Structure 1
Amino acid sequence: MRVKQRSLVTGLQRAMAGLVVLGTAGTAMAQSAREDAATTLDRITVTAQSRQQEIQDVPIALQVVDQNLLSDVAAENLGDIDAFVPGLVIDAVQPTQPSFRLRGVETDDFGIGTDPAVGIFVDGVYGGRGGGVLLPFVDVERIEVLKGPQGTLFGRNTAAGAISLITRRPQADVEARATVRVGNYGKKYADAMWNIPTGDNSALRFNALINTSDGWFQDGATGKDLGGDNVWATRAAWQSRFGDNTTAYITWDHESLDQNGRVTTGIVALPDYPARPTVPVDPNDYLDPRKVKTYSDADNAEWRTFDGVTLIVDHALAWGNFTSTSSWRKYDSTNHTEEDGTNRADLYVDSKNTESNETFYQEFKFSGSNDHIDWVAGASYFNEDARQTSEVNTNTEAVDNIVRNMGIAPTPDGSLFGFTSMLAQMNGIPISLVGEKWNERFLNTLDTTSYAVFGDVIWKATDRLNLTFGLRYTRDEKDFTWLNTPRNAPGLEAKLDTLEALGFFQALAGMGVPITRELLTFDMAFIDAPAMVNKGKLVRDKKRWSDWSPRIVIDYHVNDDTMVFASLAKGYKAGGFNALQIGPAFENEDVWNLEMGIKQSFARFSYNASVFHYRYDNRQAIRLVDPDPNNPVDIPRYVFDTGDLEATGVDFDMRWKVTDAFSLDAQAEWIDSKYKNYVTPEGVDLDGEPTGEPRFTASAGAAYQADLGGNGQLRFSVRQAYRGAQRCNEASDLQGDCGISRLLNVGQSRQRTDARIAWTSPLGHFNWAVYANNVFDKQYVRGLNTYGRGPLGVVGATITDPRTYGLEMTVKF
């Protein structure tokens, strides 16, 4: 990586000088704040560096999501907080297949052949694949969002950053809490917690949660509710102290999700049946999904069962501490969703993803500190056993429409099954091949083993200067298989058997009609050359990757209030395989991040700012491409490719306790992210083009807490989030995540406002709250599904949530 280019160094030097000036200004502004000791900011303690530290002493760009923010926005999982963490984007519309993006980097793939670029950790345990990390918040204390590569301390698959969830541990006192929330769209939410001592040195903590809603879509034809939530979860935690030096902490988590799947709204005006829509669809003819009815004829369903057990043992030694972390996690999931956005059988297409995933994680860590150094060192082991089935479902009437639109059938009307059925009936055979179910599936297995050793040392060079050196070695081994099964259409095959037994195809051959059984036996979805050559055969590949991930940090405390820092860190993500395309493995991702920042904290005001530049090599991504650019009605394919990108940006956050009752906070990120040396599979050169990441995102919050004397307290909070427009490039159109047409703007800037008013009783035992999310009812297009745009003439869209509101009551003692 060329991090020493003159322009980059000069720019960062200027930025650092600006930060020092900013620090001087902040010092001057905060003088009066320092004199008012009665009104102070709460101190925030984090474990971002595998050590207990105050956030203002950590030379990393991070944001902490605390209990206030979680309550202000009625957050139920990670997908509810990303709008208020600039730089973080979580697509949570499908809980079993979410995506996470941080500082413009994500792995937008739904196959088990790749790993995420943003690592999710719960109490220090790596969450693994995305299908098992977007779980309900159960007894979460805080969330630490670390921006930039965290490979040295957190390990594999944190090339873009890490999200660390910290849960509450059992306490020595009896404690109980229950919360009930009801709202519009049939929202019903309840959770309960019970904490009880089980001895002089041990305690048990139990949580249960249930969350249901009707969904806010209605089928335009039947009036049936579409979407919605249906999930319940439990958590049990036990902690015990053995002697003076050893503590054991064990947790069990369970979740059961069984709800309607993702809702897709068709945005193409359809002619009356049996007329077909024009292909390919002109983007200028797209309708606004927020202004049209939603129709569905698919059995959309999404379910998951999850179990996880974690054991953490801490033992104090004479010279430091030893920690052992053991974790087992398992989930099984299915996600069945409609893709065409219509209720017409002749245009029907759906997809189904089924996964089974089991992981084991073990880490041994030693740590210690003295007057000169603060150090952490350890080793870890990770194993994953994953299985996935990817399916495409349609019917022979829809297949006939695809064949007609592609012009590949040797028949007068352009169909295959319809024309064959007509010939059979003309010959006195009462058989119709139209409308028979059609299924294609691709099976994958993955066995991953990963080993790592790491160390991180903070050298206290002087009372004000610290030098940090960290290094992690990682070795990943993957054993991957593909199996492309033959088309599965039992009803169709039975009818073809009957026709063959009656001599129908032989008769057609004698009349010179070019219809054979072989012509009616083919595949539509997984038809690239390697998949067809190996149809019905198990194909296996094995690959190893290894990496050294260092980090170097210099932090200097200018005074008791101000710290400046500079860091150089490397992130790593193992290579992998394209789950839907048999082929060679692709190489690992590497990212180098150079960052400089300042942190200032006073009695009533604090802020953090940093500038960063990263170079990302071999970023892994799945893209929807036209196999033949000269044939716009061809069936698109999902292909996996890698490319380089680089970005320069600024992160900022601040907290200000204006008075004892009134507080403000704000966060922002500016980033310029562009491709480098990247040509898409279609041959489009995107060198220097934007990656799609908006330049600017921000959020702000205000809270006022009034003391009502003997009548308790009243707290009012409001939060505002802004995300700038996505920066489109020449290849954005087919991907469906960015673009402007006559009636539709995909990727436009977004705003969201949340508000909450809560009353707490004098002794804190009761809390009543009224909340509203997306107060001004602003909805936006999440993205388009353009898979059927060419072959079927249909395009689907997903949109963000409307305004939701409700009443919440909490009882605790």
Structure 2
Amino acid sequence: MSMRQRPLSSALHRLLFGGGTLLLCSPLLALAADNAPQDAATAASSTPASPENASADKAKLLGNVTVTAQSRSQEMQSVPIPLQIITAKQVQTLAATDISKMDIFVPGLVVSADQPTQPSYELRGIGGSGFGAGTESAVGVYVDGVYAARTGGALLAFNDIARIEVLKGPQGTLFGRNSAGGAISIITNEPSDKFEATGTLRYGNYGERYGNALVNIPLNQDMALRVSVLDNQSDGWVKDAASGKHYGGNDDWGTRAVYRWNITPDTRVLLAWDHEQLKQAPHPAFGLIPPSSYMQLPAPLNSMTIPPYPANPATYLDPLHSPLYNDAVGAAETRRFDGATLTVDHTFSWGSFTSTTAWRNFDTFNLGDYDGTNNYNIYLDTANIEHNNSWYQEFKLSGNTDLIDWVTGTSFYLEKSHQTSQVDVNTNSVTTLILNNFASQVGWPLVDGLIPTMPQLASLLGDPWSEQVRNSQTITSYATYGDVIWHLSDKLNLTTGVRFTLDQKQYSWFIPPRYAPQLDATLAALPPSGNPIFDSLVLPEFEQNLIFTPETAGPIGVLTQKRDNWRNVSPRVVLDYHFTPNVMAYGSVTRGYQAGGFNFQQVGGTYAPEHVTNYEGGVKTVFPDQHLLFNVTGYYYTYDNLQGLSLQPAPAGTNGVPEYVISTSDQHAHGLEVELQWIPFDNLQLGLNGAYIDSTYTHYISTDNKNLSGQPTGTPSFSGAANLSYTVPDVFNGSLVYNAAYGFRGKTRCNADSGFQGTCQVSPNFPVGTSQQSVDMRLDWNAPGDHWGVGIFVSNLLDKRYVTGVDNTAAPLGSAYANITPPRTWGVELRAKL
């Protein structure tokens, strides 16, 4: 649908102020993932669009400002914002099933997805590992312009996507919700007027079995239906040494259906349905405590063997070369996701109107081992159980004149979520906690003396014990925004934009008494001991909450509720100057915001809203004759109250375990990003991306009371990626294509809290927080017209393995575990297209 250019009324001139940013999508960058050499040559030498057409398209480039399928075609180097495009071809080349499988090839992006229902996103060092009710990420994930409610429903398998746009820096003016640190915009394909049917099958090591299929059916000249399905299965790359259970596998199935109806030449309706079902083992927890170090307790607990307390990092096992022992009862990670989106757009003589209505629902369950052993005497598992339902409504208007391109809109967001944080132990591990607490206070000799005088302890063993925190949250968010690109001259543009936001949250906490019915029956029948030490020091510990206690979490058995609201104005100003049609320089100042909230494991706990100010400048260049693109961006930001999830130690003198709580910090950073794409000749395409950042705390007191002000935040200084694609034509009446990709991420910059958080070196026996690299390669043969093809691919070719972190949740039990990266994977692929 096209728009006729007419002058705006004076009323609209007064109403619409804002800045039109957005997507850089270079044809050369797209070509770096395209295997058709004739297209590469054509695009590299194409002339820029006329100024009139370019200006008409600028305000419609952003994913959530797009109103027609045609407006997804982006002007080369025309938008003053740093952005990396991931094309559908690149996703296929890397055999990536979600964005976490390729984040190392996007410098500055980190997607941690050991637990896909609890992922974390980070851009330019900003993100946070929050999950569930009460936590939100500073990097917003959007699917066709609709915010993905919570991280629990954000990391979905790729299903018929057109491209992914990774926008760096605050994107609040147009994207809005929770994009203070950046935005990841996933754009899917819409039904077309041409019949299409495609399918892909993959088979690889570790039992990998993957398939997807797509059919696009034009129903008549005004209607079309597009349906896609995928199924991703694998056995897993590690087995439990005792039980033989597989971990690290996939069991993910999804479908997507989109219906398009052109009601009139100027009115279009899109109705999309998404469904996903995930069911797999939880993340493997590799224990670090050697079983040979376990010691046997004296009578009457001589049936118990426990690790020495406190744990000695000098004796830790190397998790990269040690067996897996996990014994969590009911261990699983599951998710059911459903979503529907209705889009209606209409073209008027003066512009376009778009209405987007979206509903999202997901249920997740994630229960895994947190002691890293199969020792019943230190048993500890945790579960995160979520239910989330959200509605989103947005109305947008957009248009253009010779003077300005504009977009304005208003949105409403409603979310209702429920979360249960559960910790499961047993009376053996409770006994271990109590004895270790005694040991930490008065030493083992007293414990050795106590045990023989307390035979009643032996009668309390062998029973399960569970504690919970139950949270509910209702979020209501209203926003209105305006965005205008002012064409001050043929070469100079000024972008001004602003978003007004009102966030309202209502939150509740409920901590029930610990659940241990078998133990309670034993306690009820327990005869008087006559032992004052047992009666006054030990027995009360078995009769009350041990983990979520009034001292650490809040009142037991009492429903507590709070509500609050936050208002914000997020402006953006950008000035860009085109020295030539192929050389542009720009500078911008942008504010970002994320609402405050509530600490989900601490009754009544609140945290302040985030605010970021980002200063940025860059140059974008294209040299058509040389088939070369070169961009460079420099930035500096200050961040107040960045929200993150940190492990907090249990208070001294208690028998509890550390808890993950939301903490806030102030940070600042400066950085530089470089992008180079080059096509030296038709069949060879090269790419290089690099990022440097220096990120430090300006003010932060850690959860264990360390002052980290002036210290690094942990973000690596350097990251980079390189890619190569070479096509050999006329091979068996088709083409042979070789692709290689290299990704690098520098070592973690450690601070005084890194050891307890497990992100840096904790033991001399293995490295943590080292630099990482990955090499992926692929060789394809494509038939003419890409009607069918075969390929072989390998991920992590060099089989580089890394310890990504150590979890100290079970430290009071004398244990700890590590997370490690998967090994090399490879596979073969068959593709067909009608």
Both structures adopt the same fold (TM-score exceeding 0.5)? yes
CA RMSD of aligned residues (A): 2.4
> What is the alpha-carbon distance in structure 2 between the residues aligned to residue 510 and residue 113 of structure 1?
43
CA deviation map 1:745-798 (0-9, x unaligned): 211000100000011112321110100000010010111111122x11111001
The answer to whether the Cα contact below 8 Å between 1:607 and 1:653 also exists between their aligned partners in 2 is yes
Matched with 1:689 is 711
In structure 2, the partner of 1:40 is 44
The Cα of 1:743 is off from its aligned counterpart by 1.3
What CA distance in whole angstroms lies between the structure 1 residues aligned with 2:538 and 2:750? 47
| Equivalent in the alignment of 1:750 | 772
3-state DSSP of counterpart to 1:149 = coil
Please state how far the C-alpha of 1:655 moved relative to its aligned partner. Answer: 1.1
Q: Please give the alpha-carbon distance, in whole angstroms, between the structure 2 residues aligned to 1:749 and 1:134.
A: 25
Give the deviation of 1:50 after TM superposition: 2.9
User: Deviations 1:462-482 (Å, cap 9, x if unpaired)?
Assistant: 000000000000000000000
Q: SS at 1:57's partner residue?
A: coil
Q: Name the structure 2 match of 1:568.
A: 589
Match of 1:737 among 759, 783, 787: 759
- Is 1:648 matched up with 2:670? yes
Is residue 239 of structure 1 aligned with residue 260 of structure 2? yes
Q: Would the aligned equivalents of 2:337 and 2:361 in 1 still touch at CA under 8 Å? A: yes
Q: Is residue 2:286 matched to residue 1:265?
A: yes
Among 428, 447, 467, the alignment partner of 2:494 is: 467
Mean alpha-carbon deviation: is it higher for 219-228 or for 323-332?
219-228
The equivalent position to 2:724 in structure 1, one of 698, 702, 707, is 702
Rate the CA distance shift 1:420–1:436 in 2: closer, same or farther, 3 A: farther
1:338 CA drift (Å): 0.3
Task: Name the counterpart of 1:8.
Answer: none
Aligned residue in 1 for 2:828: 807
Identity of aligned residues (%): 41
Q: More deviation in 269-278 or 664-673?
A: 269-278
- Report the CA distance shift for 1:493/1:380 in structure 2 as closer, same or farther (over 3 A): same
SS at match of 1:59: coil
3-state SS, counterpart of residue 497 of structure 1: helix
1:605 matched to 2:635 = no
Contact 2:119-2:129 at 8 Å conserved across structures: no
In structure 2, distance between residues paired with 1:480 and 1:454: 27
Question: 1:390 is matched with which residue?
Answer: 421
TM-superposed CA distance for 1:49, in Å, is 7.8
Per-residue deviation, residues 247-273 of structure 1 (Å, max 9, x unmatched): 111100000111111110001213256
1:165, distance to aligned residue in structure 2 (A): 0.5
Distance verdict in 2 for CA 1:511–1:216, change over 3 Å: closer
Residue pairs, 1:273-292, within 5 angstroms: 274=296, 275-292=305-322
Measure, in 1, the Cα distance between the counterparts of 2:535 and 2:149.
56
Q: Provide the residue aligned with 2:648 in structure 1.
A: 625
- Distance in 2 between residues matched to 1:469 and 1:402, nearest whole Å: 59
Matched, 1:662 2:693: no
Q: Which residue of 1 aligns with 2:17?
A: none
Structure 1 residue corresponding to 2:738, chosen from 697, 703, 716: 716
Provide the rounded CA distance (Å) in 2 between the counterparts of 1:777 and 1:295: 23
Change (3 A) 1:687 1:762: same
* Bigger Cα displacement from structure 2, 118-127 vs 706-715: 706-715
State the distance in 2 between where 1:498 and 1:553 align.
Answer: 75
Q: Counterpart of 1:367 in structure 2: which amino acid?
A: S
The answer to whether the 8 Å contact 1:266/1:289 transfers is: yes
Pairing 1:407–2:462 present: no
- Confirm whether residue 671 of structure 1 aligns to residue 693 of structure 2: yes
Is the deviation greater in 45-54 or in 657-666? Answer: 45-54
SS in 2 for 1:403: helix
CA contact (8 A) 2:552 2:651 kept: no
Tell me by how many angstroms 1:212 deviates: 0.6
2:324 corresponds in structure 1 to 294
**Counterpart among 794, 800, 803 of residue 778 in structure 1:** 800
Q: Distance in 2 between matches of 1:510 and 1:333?
A: 46
Q: Does structure 2 retain, via aligned residues, the 8 Å contact 1:400–1:418?
A: no
What amino acid maps onto 1:392 in structure 2?
V
Q: Distance in 2 between matches of 1:257 and 1:207?
A: 17
Match for 1:294: what amino acid? L
- C-alpha separation between the residues in 1 aligned to 2:702 and 2:725? 47
Amino acid at match of 1:406: N
Following TM superposition, by how much is the alpha carbon of 1:590 offset from its aligned partner in structure 2, in angstroms? 0.2
Corresponding residue of 1:10: none
Give TM-score scaled by structure 2 length: 0.88
Instruction: Map residues 145-294 of structure 1 onto 2, 5 A cutoff.
Output: 145-270=166-291, 271-272=293-294, 274=296, 275-294=305-324
- Corresponding position: 1:540 with 2:561: yes
Q: Which residue of the other structure, out of 750, 757, 760, is the alignment partner of 1:728?
A: 750
Aligned residue runs from structure 1 range 413-492, under 5 A: 414=447, 422-423=455-456, 432-492=459-519
Using structure 1 for the length normalisation, give the TM-score. 0.90
Give the AA of the match of 1:40: A
Q: Within 2, Cα distance between the matches of 1:633 and 1:609?
A: 53
Within a 5 Å distance, the mapping from 1:68-217 to structure 2 comes to: 68-217=89-238
TM superposition shift of 1:744: 1.8
- CA gap of 1:775–1:112, structure 2 versus 1, over 3 A, is same
On the 8 A contact 1:418/1:434 being kept in 2, the answer is no
| Residue 627 of structure 1: how far off its partner (Å) | 4.6
Contact 2:256 2:274 (8 Å CA) reproduced: yes
Aligned partners of 2:187, 2:129: CA distance in 1, in Å?
26
Q: In structure 2, do the counterparts of structure 1 residues 55 and 284 end up closer, same or farther at CA, with 3 Å as the change threshold?
A: farther
Deviations 1:208-241, CA, capped at 9 Å, x for gaps:
1111101101112233322311010011001111
Moved more, 517-526 or 363-372: 517-526
Deviation, 1:636, is: 2.7
CA distance in 2, matches of 1:498, 1:159: 58
Give the deviation of 1:713 after TM superposition: 0.8
Which moved further from structure 2: 46-55 or 340-349?
A: 46-55
What is the Cα deviation at residue 741 of structure 1?
A: 2.9
1:308 corresponding residue in structure 2: 339
Contact 2:547 2:656 in 1 (8 A): no
Q: CA deviation at 1:628?
A: 4.7
Q: Is the Cα contact below 8 Å between 1:712 and 1:759 reproduced in 2? A: yes
Q: Which moved more, 1:78-87 or 1:266-275?
A: 266-275
Q: Which runs of 5+ in 2 are unaligned?
A: 1-39, 50-56, 297-304
Larger CA deviation: 599-608 vs 56-65:
599-608
Segment drifting more, 682-691 vs 554-563? 682-691
The answer for the alignment partner of 2:522 in structure 1 is 495
Q: 1:731 Cα shift?
A: 1.0
Q: What do the CA deviations read for 1:303-325 (whole angstroms, capped 9, x no partner)?
A: 01000000111100110000001
The CA distance in 1 between the partners of 2:445 and 2:818, in whole Å, is 35
Question: Residue 677 of structure 1: CA displacement?
Answer: 2.2
Secondary structure of residue in 1 paired with 2:284: coil
**Structure 1 residues 89, 646: closer, same or farther in 2, change over 3 A?**
same
Give the superposition deviation at 1:496.
1.7
Cα 1:244–1:197 shift into 2, 3 Å: same
Any conservation in 1 of the 2:109–2:123 contact (CA below 8 Å)? yes
Tell me the distance in 1 between the aligned counterparts of 2:612 and 2:403.
Answer: 31
How much does 1:686 deviate? 1.3
Structure 2 distance, partners of 1:88, 1:807, is 28
2:746 aligned partner, one-letter code: G
| Distance across 2 between alignment mates of 1:323 and 1:419 | 76
Shift of 1:509: 6.4
